[in-house]
Structure 1
Amino acid sequence: MVKDFLPISREDMKKRGWQQCDFVYICGDAYVDHSSFGMAIITRLLESRGYKVGIIAQPDWKKKESITILGEPRLGFLVSAGNMDSMVNHYTVNKKHRKNDAYSPGGKMGMRPDYATIVYCNLIRQTYKKTPIIIGGIEASLRRMSHYDYWSDKMKHSILIDSGADIISYGMGEHSIVEIAEALEAGIDVKDITYIRGTVYKAKSLDHIYDDYIELPSYDEIAADKKKYAESFYTQYINTDAFSARILVEKVKEKMYVVQNPPAMPLTQMEMDDVYSLPYMRDYHPVYKKMGGIPALSEIKFSLTSNRGCFGGCSFCALTFHQGRIIQTRSHENIIEEAELMTHDPDFKGYIHDVGGPTANFRRTACDKQLSKGACVNKQCLFPKPCKNLVVEHKDYISLLRKLRKIPSVKKVFIRSGIRFDYCMEDSDDTFLRELCENHISGQLRVAPEHISDKVLSRMGKPSRAVYDSFIKRYKRINDKTGKEQFVVPYLMSSHPGSTMKEAIELAEYVRDLGYMPEQVQDFYPTPSTLSTCMYYTGYDPRTMEKVYTPVSHHEKEMQRALIQYKKPENYDLVKEALLANNRNDLIGFGPKCLIPPRKIRSRSNEKSRKR
């Protein structure tokens, strides 16, 4: 096997002695050969199985010739928008164009189209009418069935319909992509590949389905009735576990169905180790060097993936739909091997930036039952209260961190992935928090309470404020014992479903009492396939079918966000309008409890500018 980047040109193919690729992978991201990038994992995995894989990164979607540079692949095209949904990559929550794209050379914006997966597939079909197209990645995974699209503000079909692709490999994709490749290699027509877990396909009838299946409301029904969509979405949500999920069927047109097979089984630890041991170059392709490199790589180049999956169950997070709730981990030996390899990089300065995953301190399944029966269908592990069967254990993670700290060239190991403070609070042993404070943060610990109103937190699937307050006290006590003055930086979210202006003002008062203004504020972003997005669009909580108030007007969302950062001069008018409209004149004044003064105070520089 050649230890090099995979071919991106005919010249690269010739150097390897290839006349034709088996697969051509088309991606909206620049080509980075690192295990934090889905494109790298899938292509290296196929390479390890003997397939010849070429890469076309960020083709010019305005020229159909851009997807023909490697010729027609023998088995099929693989298409992904990249590590992010292309619409999230392009637009802020206010639907304004972002200025930078961390996954493009030099951070340049505009290197991929809107709805990139659909555009790339349509581009392929202009030239290659019958070549199989398999789509995957976060964009395809979260749009696999009919879904609400925030940017167009309407229901959209499954991405299979709009793209013209043949199969979706949803979720993390290692199992399903290998099985699809083997089926194509065996000569099975792509239209007959209907049996693979972790895939979605189109069918003209349901006669071939022998297992018990659930038929969801049709596209026409959910497009006409928001309540129907909420019910349909929740059926999908509780069928995301590999052990218990059933086949889901949705009629999208007359004599046209989209069929979702159950998710692929979680990777074993040995399989995880194999995936992260593939011969990645751990760098971006050299063609990008003169363009300034790929900014996203610098964020993760010296970070270690420890786990996958999350049983936290936050309503605004798509992890349940994409990675699932069952934790999958790499072995200590495999992680340490990667860390030692990292220390030989000439750019390594002695600092490991992160050891984690979706949630850093999850290193085992929530309970032993999940290993054989999967996650509970109608019950969360941590919400509204931790399950009585929850196994809380940090010993394995502590042991891993201690081993990493002992590597000779390592000066410090940081933890920058989020930690679940409610999970920490279930652990009566202070060892993990003490070691976290002593060794793995530098002055600040970032945690995500998201809000402080229990009414809003219940919609978010987050623990009550009392749990967070208890964590803060414990964190302070441990820091006092260690003699360190370290702070908590809370991530806060505005405009989440359930948050009226009353709760937004309550959050602003909490910020006031903190004594400083948080830098990290996220206005709720309705991305595809989350419970919160379903609430935002339908006005119903799909878990209970209760009606939920949701801030949907741009102006109200602006006011809710401004309240959290009420000290910013540019937010003054919005904050004042919000307070007056909600009869909270008591918060306008010069007293210690006031948020803003009665009138905007101009600085001297502003006064001079006004006079000029």
Structure 2
Amino acid sequence: MNGFLPISKQDMTERGWYYCDFLIVTGDAYVDHPSFGTAIISRVLEDAGYKVAILSQPDFRDEHDFLAMGRPRYAVLINGGNIDSMVAHYTSAKKRRSDDAYTPGGKGGKRPDRAVTVYSMLARRAFPDTPVYLGGIEASLRRFAHYDYWADRVMPSILESTGADGVMYGMSEHSVVELANNLQHGRKGADACVGVRGTAYMAHDAEGLAWDAVECPSYEDVCASKPDYARSVKLQYDEQDAVRGRALLQRHGRRVLIQNPPAKPLTTEEMDHVYALPYMRTYHPSYEALGGVPAIQEVQFSIIHNRGCFGACNFCALAFHQGRYIQVRSHESVIEEAKKITQMPGFKGYIHDVGGPTANFRFPACKKQDTHGCCKDKRCLFPSACSNIEADHTDYLNLLRELRRIEGIKKVFVRSGLRYDYMMADRNDAFFKELVEHHISGQLKVAPEHMSDNALYYMGKPSFNVYEQFRERYARINQKLGRKQYLVPYLMSSHPGATLDDAIMLAQYLNRIGYMPEQVQDFYPTPGTLSTAMYYTGIDPRTMKPVYVAKTPEEKAMQRALLQWRRPDKRPIILAALKKAGREDLIGYGKECLIRPNRSGEQNVAPRSSKPAHRHGVSAARPENPRRSGKPAAKPASRAPQPKKGWAKPKKKK
């Protein structure tokens, strides 16, 4: 018997089990690593004394696989996997992906579209009298009525569409144990969620709630009125705080969705305990013959040291899922995990990442958040760093130094997201210098997303001037250290508010600095974000004012192509975009021009960049695969697949 939790009846028999208390159904392969939600929740329940079995990627044509291990004693717990099943299956252009990094061998098609919904229906068919509860990112972001990009319409709460008994939203260690204890003591169905923070459920009325509550516009109202939809989303964001957040209500016909306030953040001691549970830190051995699970490669030798992000970009679901409050592990806990990694097969001395949603956050933005929560109508870093923010990298820097001293570790990298605006708010250069000297390998990746302040406003990102200052500071430190390392910016096209003129401005900037990105993310309207609300309604929920949205495939393709203006295959659409915007002045032979005019018999090529890349601290070379700590980056929800190589060299003018 191996150390993994049971995945079959035989595994249960070998443990002497006649039943399991909880059956966890997941759209991912079973990977027992703390970067995977299924692994954490299953180990937390096991630690609480419950028998847990794992049903990974069951056949979704019928309920046969659900019946294989027998009826669970208390409940079926369902998640779609580490990323939304629709994002796993489709690009932002709604084209079907052919692979899936969370499946054995990287094979696509092993989970259904809308996996949580399909699995819920199969669970009901297999066990009609057993409670079903949902969790994970897919269910969490669909707990209210939401706009569905793939169906292009507003859908009801996932509780309404699946008939499940409840949703555990956000990070659910507290919620799942409290829910399990309620079930053990005889409470059933939605009643087991009553009074449990971090859960939502449907009821006939909202009487007797333990908390103050506020009501969102109903499902029927948000379907009929886009302003009501925008107001509903803003209200949901306002109450997403464990300190000051109220319960939220949303009527669906004759029933009402009740969301209890968010779960309390884990303390450092609780975080340490969760990450010290007996994870096997790899995929189940039954997948070896199938080629393993590709997603493990990005996280197997990485460490998560924090949770939450007070950056709260409008297009990111983190604020609505994990929240803005920062939770961290102790140095001792992180070091202990690093020592375990050094003993793992295949470890070659390199810790691939010490990060999280945002790597360089080690404590809440300000002390006020501990007692008053995060500000409702203010952002910590937008439009600029708040005067109350405590920008200090000392603790994170000391942690990295301690990790570097561990025997067997040659290098410790930081590869997950770094908030460069937070770094610029720290007047002490010590962290910046040691990051450049010790913790990157040739290039540093950050996410300015755009250079137009108009576009950045709607993204909830700081002014582009902050990035420019960061870039210059990075170049100076590299020069002082005698290093030739590059800055790789992530960029996004077609975000709500971003116009064709904004895309042209960005293309001109990239041309001036001599950088042509190979990775460009077209905005992806996923459930549960402010940006998606803007995309659907054409209204900014923050101000209720109209916002421009590029929705047609033609304009979206134009904005994206402009960021890769040197690609010969993009020439026709770039030419059309420049003419549409009245910018024929950028078609010519000058150094500021993006493309050359058509000439009889001449190959369609772009002009040379006006300045060499190395003079600007950026590289035109193909960057490494992006990654986010805690979520393997082979299929990230927030980044598009890399385009193929094939840049044509400009021909000399005859």
Q: Which residue in 2 is equivalent to 1:77?
A: 76
- Structure 1 residue 212: Cα displacement: 2.3
Q: Which residue in 1 is equivalent to 2:138?
A: 139
Rounded to whole Å, the distance in 2 between the matches of 1:267 and 1:480 is 42
| 8 Å CA contact 1:27, 1:80 repeated in 2 | yes
- Structure 1 residue 570: Cα displacement: 1.1
Deviations 1:285-341 (A, max 9, x none): 011001000000011000000100000010100001100000000000000100000
Deviations 1:49-69 (A, max 9, x none): 110000110000002111111
- 3-state SS in 2 of match to 1:571: helix
| 8 Å CA contact 1:343, 1:409 repeated in 2 | yes
Rounded to whole Å, the distance in 2 between the matches of 1:498 and 1:428 is 33
| 8 Å CA contact 1:201, 1:258 repeated in 2 | yes
The answer to whether residue 40 in structure 2 is matched with residue 41 in structure 1 is yes
**Where do 1:154-193 residues align within 5 Å?**
154-193=153-192
Greater alpha carbon shift after TM alignment, 373-382 vs 177-186: 373-382
Rounded to whole Å, the distance in 2 between the matches of 1:397 and 1:211 is 37
Pick closer, same or farther for the CA change 1:606–1:165 going to 2, 3 Å: closer
- 3-state SS in 1 of match to 2:124: helix
TM-score of the two chains, using structure 1 as the length reference: 0.97
Q: Which residue in 2 is equivalent to 1:479?
A: 478
Q: Which residue in 1 is equivalent to 2:55?
A: 56
Q: Which residue in 2 is equivalent to 1:610?
A: none
- Structure 1 residue 487: Cα displacement: 1.2
Rounded to whole Å, the distance in 2 between the matches of 1:571 and 1:164 is 47
In the alignment, residue 571 of structure 1 is paired with which amino acid? Answer: K
Q: Which residue in 2 is equivalent to 1:242?
A: 242
- 3-state SS in 2 of match to 1:558: helix
- Structure 1 residue 603: Cα displacement: 8.5
Rounded to whole Å, the distance in 1 between the matches of 2:258 and 2:551 is 32
- 3-state SS in 1 of match to 2:241: coil
Q: Which residue in 2 is equivalent to 1:20?
A: 19
Q: Which residue in 1 is equivalent to 2:125?
A: 126
Q: Which residue in 1 is equivalent to 2:225?
A: 225
- Structure 1 residue 210: Cα displacement: 5.0
- Structure 1 residue 510: Cα displacement: 1.1
**Where do 1:358-377 residues align within 5 Å?**
358-377=357-376
- Structure 1 residue 211: Cα displacement: 3.2
Rounded to whole Å, the distance in 2 between the matches of 1:523 and 1:513 is 22
Greater alpha carbon shift after TM alignment, 497-506 vs 190-199: 190-199
Q: Which residue in 1 is equivalent to 2:631?
A: none
- Structure 1 residue 555: Cα displacement: 1.2
| 8 Å CA contact 2:567, 2:647 repeated in 1 | no
Percent of matched pairs sharing the same residue: 55
- Structure 1 residue 208: Cα displacement: 2.8
Deviations 1:544-571 (A, max 9, x none): 1111001011111011000000111111
Q: Which residue in 2 is equivalent to 1:408?
A: 407
**Where do 1:185-584 residues align within 5 Å?**
185-193=184-192, 194-209=194-209, 211-253=211-253, 255-584=254-583
Greater alpha carbon shift after TM alignment, 190-199 vs 598-607: 598-607
Deviations 1:558-599 (A, max 9, x none): 110000001111111110000011111111112211111112
| 8 Å CA contact 1:490, 1:520 repeated in 2 | no
- Structure 1 residue 205: Cα displacement: 1.3
In the alignment, residue 130 of structure 1 is paired with which amino acid? Answer: D
- 3-state SS in 1 of match to 2:82: coil
| 8 Å CA contact 2:33, 2:279 repeated in 1 | yes
- 3-state SS in 2 of match to 1:525: coil
- 3-state SS in 1 of match to 2:337: helix
- 3-state SS in 1 of match to 2:303: strand
- Structure 1 residue 514: Cα displacement: 2.0
Deviations 1:450-479 (A, max 9, x none): 000011111111110111111111111111
- Structure 1 residue 96: Cα displacement: 0.4
| 8 Å CA contact 1:26, 1:55 repeated in 2 | yes
In the alignment, residue 602 of structure 1 is paired with which amino acid? Answer: Q
Pick closer, same or farther for the CA change 1:309–1:30 going to 2, 3 Å: same
Deviations 1:385-426 (A, max 9, x none): 211110111000000000000111111111001111111111
Greater alpha carbon shift after TM alignment, 185-194 vs 524-533: 185-194
- 3-state SS in 2 of match to 1:507: helix
The answer to whether residue 4 in structure 2 is matched with residue 5 in structure 1 is yes
Flag the structure with more relative contact order, 1 or 2, with Cα contacts below 8 A and sequence separation at least 6.
Answer: 2
Pick closer, same or farther for the CA change 1:433–1:208 going to 2, 3 Å: same
| 8 Å CA contact 1:3, 1:279 repeated in 2 | no
| 8 Å CA contact 1:358, 1:418 repeated in 2 | yes
Rounded to whole Å, the distance in 2 between the matches of 1:383 and 1:365 is 16
In the alignment, residue 199 of structure 2 is paired with which amino acid? Answer: T
Q: Which residue in 1 is equivalent to 2:112?
A: 113
Rounded to whole Å, the distance in 1 between the matches of 2:105 and 2:88 is 15
In the alignment, residue 568 of structure 1 is paired with which amino acid? Answer: R
| 8 Å CA contact 2:195, 2:210 repeated in 1 | no
Rounded to whole Å, the distance in 1 between the matches of 2:282 and 2:488 is 31
